[in-house]
Amino acid sequence: MKFKLIASVSLLSLAFLSACGQNDQAAAPMVEKTPQVNENNIRAHLEFLADDALLGRDTGSEGYQIAANYVKSYFKQLGLTPMGELEGFEQQVTFRKSYLEANSAEFSITNASGTVDLAFKDAFIMSGDSIVTNSTITAETVFVGYGIISEDFGYDDYKGIDVEGKIVVVLTGRPDDLPSEEGAHIGSGGEKIKHAAKNGAVGFITIHTPKRDAVRTFAKSASYADSPRLSWLDKKGMPFGKYPEIKGGAYLSAEHAHALFEGAERKLEDVLADDTNNVAIKGFALKSTVKMANKSRHEEITSPNVIAAIEGSDPTLKDEYVVFSAHLDHIGVSSHGDEEDKINNGALDNASGVSILLETARLLSTMPEKPKRSILFVVVTGEEKGLLGSSYFATNPTVPVMQMVANVNLDMPLILYPFADIIAFGSTHSSLGPIVASAAKKINLSLSDDPMPQQALFTRSDHYSFVKAGVPSVFLMTGFQSKDPNVNGEEVFGDFFKNHYHQHSDETTLPIRYDAAASFAEVNMMIGLEIANGEKRPTWNQGDFFGKTFAQ
């Protein structure tokens, strides 16, 4: 579609007329014990949030702020309590935006045969440094396998290897025998760099393997190498989760990384073959030196989380909170490609989740009898940049983290068919599993097992920030089962991810089923009520890895 210049104020007014239930005014008054879902509310929210005028709701953009203002205004209309900063609804997050200066990225390998200079994007990629603007490092290298440490699963790739003052070299990925969700955490880049820093390394190199190339090619990753990177800043002005000890880092294609292993006890091709065949890999010293350098430019931007609450009715339990979360941001306007439409509207990712959260807030706020525990709604920024807004909130919560009993996260519910089941990623890790199943059953929906365990989605959305704060959490999505025998939910999922995910076609022209959205809002409300009115707060399952690692 072509870009439409729609005045924000007019658009906001039109959306509110529908979302506030104007269509219901002609109906005869009636008394209801439980408020009914209004799918037109969800439609109004979604059509506003996914409109071209918001330019894809990129973190820190004017379009994102318009979306945040819309959410705040709706919370105000519902009479919700502001739970942000300074007695308002917003929690401002300050980000450092790091740009890699053009033509500044350098990478060379020196071994017994001489020095090899690698070409940026063809052989290696690196990002702007979030800590310094001018970075140069030259150091010896050492290979440490996947670079993981896990006492629970008996892995320590640093055992017996001296990396003090050296640049560590790791393979992307993790051992195949690790469970998918636990392995996704253990093998994440953040965990790997943390271990490198703690063991005294000064640089970090990851090698792109053939196994990884089957999932995402090096060329695809390289096409985004110039994109700025965001980090949220702590109270000292330091980027969170970054390690000053690590003076440089790069990501190498396998075909250009062989020089690192020249003269070492094993060749890279043998190591890569072990990775492909799932053979255990051990680290060893390398006989090469690497020089890395780049220049960076920094900007500071702000973007708010929006936070509100419904106070619980129980004098004691009202100090505990059931948290609903959804990310409001999307990826903005494309800077590459030759399509006429460059706006990534994010209708299903995640205007749909926010719209359903807003309808859930309306349902719970208009109940004749409020839930026993309080309900906290956290609409976050920066999810697409690495779960940043939720990470900021979980690290700087506006209510004590010990008082958050559970998190239910809504991210990209594919409301494209009449689903008959739901998926709750993370439901096997805590007592939330039976709670979700019970709530779904009350409205004739079933809870299905994770149909895509290899994707490890439990670690890939905002609920994971709450998990790392010790809060039992689930990530809700529509299941693959369909009430319509002529519709295959799994095929609909596959088509969306192939043809619309993070593309400009994720917009309101998709065949969105607002009756399915209403069902999702209903089950969301039921889950919230089940947790809020439960006798006990949810608990991690006995011996669960995430419970042991992060429990409060």
Picking from 274, 299, 324, the residue at the C-terminal end of a domain is 299
Do residues 171 and 249 both lie within one domain? yes
Residues 145 and 285 in one domain: yes
Q: Are strands 90-100 and 229-232 parallel, antiparallel or unpaired?
A: antiparallel
Last residue of a domain, one of 278, 299, 320: 299
Q: 262 and 315 share a domain?
A: no
Question: Is 185 a domain residue?
Answer: yes
Amino acid at residue number 436: V
Q: Give tens-digit pLDDT for 257-289.
A: 999 999 999 999 999 999 999 999 999 999 999
In a domain, 1, yes or no: no
3-state DSSP of 351-381 = HHHHHHHHHHHHHHHCCCCCCCCEEEEEEEC
- Rounded mean pLDDT of 401-425? 97
For 491-550, the pLDDT digits (tens) are 999 999 999 999 999 999 999 999 999 999 999 999 999 999 999 999 999 999 999 999
* Interstrand relation of 473-478 and 421-425 (parallel, antiparallel or unpaired): antiparallel
User: Could you tell me the pLDDT band of residue 22, with boundaries at 50, 70 and 90?
Assistant: very low
**CA-closest candidate to residue 206, choices 263, 144, 151:** 144
Q: Mark whether 71 and 147 lie in a shared domain.
A: no
Q: Does residue 22 form part of some domain?
A: yes
Choose the final residue of a domain: 246, 268, 299: 299
Q: Are residues 494 and 538 in the same domain?
A: yes
Asked if 52 and 118 sit in the same domain, the reply is no
Say yes or no to pLDDT of 88 above 50. Answer: yes
Q: Tell me the per-residue pLDDT of 128-159, one tens digit each, with 9 for 90 and over.
A: 999 999 999 999 999 999 999 999 999 999 99
**Shared-domain flag, residues 136 and 64:** no
Write out the residue range of the structural domain in which residue 419 sits. Answer: 8-94+301-550
The answer to whether residue 3 sits within a structural domain is no
pLDDT-derived band at 337, boundaries 50, 70, 90: low
Claim to verify: residue 30 and residue 126 sit in the same structural domain: no
User: Which CATH number covers residue 515?
Assistant: 3.40.630.10
> Which tens digit of pLDDT belongs to each residue from 35-47?
899 999 999 999 9
Q: Answer yes or no: is 404 within a domain.
A: yes
Decide if 149 contacts 157 (C-beta within 8 A): yes
Q: Is the same domain home to 495 and 361?
A: yes
Note whether 141 and 326 are within 8 A (CB).
Answer: no
Cα-only R_g, the chain: 24
Same domain, yes or no: 132 and 17: no
Is residue 2 included in any domain, yes or no?
Answer: no
Q: Is residue 109 part of a domain?
A: yes
Q: Are residues 41 and 104 in the same domain?
A: no
Q: Whole-angstrom Cα distance, residue 303 to residue 58?
A: 10
Give the domain CATH number at 208.
3.50.30.30
Q: Residue 225: inside a domain, yes or no? A: yes
Instruction: Render pLDDT for 375-397 as a digit per residue (tens, 0 to 9).
Output: 999 999 999 999 999 999 999 99
Q: What total number of domains does the chain contain?
A: 2
Q: Do 292 and 315 sit in the same domain of this protein?
A: no
* Alpha-carbon gap, residue 203 to 292, rounded angstroms: 9
On whether the CB atoms of residues 430 and 547 are closer than 8 A, the answer is yes
